[in-house]
Amino acid sequence: MTGIRHILVLPDRDAAEEVAEALPERFGVSQEPQLVRDALAGEDDAEDAQWLVVIEDPARALDPAALDAFADEYDGWLEAE
């Protein structure tokens, strides 16, 4: 069985950075999450960008429902794979 990748979608960089910092303590994530700026289609304004926090889960140990609830605390969500 191979691992999976979880993608949390956050409204801004600050929220994404806070989520990335909290993941190790809250979920025991050992690998550093990747932060990715995702510009909305057709938008040039940086204010209209979402931020993605990409979490590698090689052991499939993370609960998607818990990750979604966590992202929701920051007005975000877990992107369905």
Task: Pick the more confident residue, 40 or 65.
Answer: 65
Query: What's the total number of domains in the chain?
Result: 1
Task: Pick the more confident residue, 78 or 43.
Answer: 78
Query: Whole-angstrom distance between the N-terminal and C-terminal Cα of the chain?
Result: 16
CATH, residue 34: 3.30.70.3450
pLDDT at 58 exceeding the cut of 60: yes
pLDDT tens for 6-45 read 999 999 999 999 999 999 999 999 889 999 998 765 555 5
Structure tokens, 30: 């050992």
Distance CA 30, CA 73 (A): 21
Structural domain range at position 16: 4-79
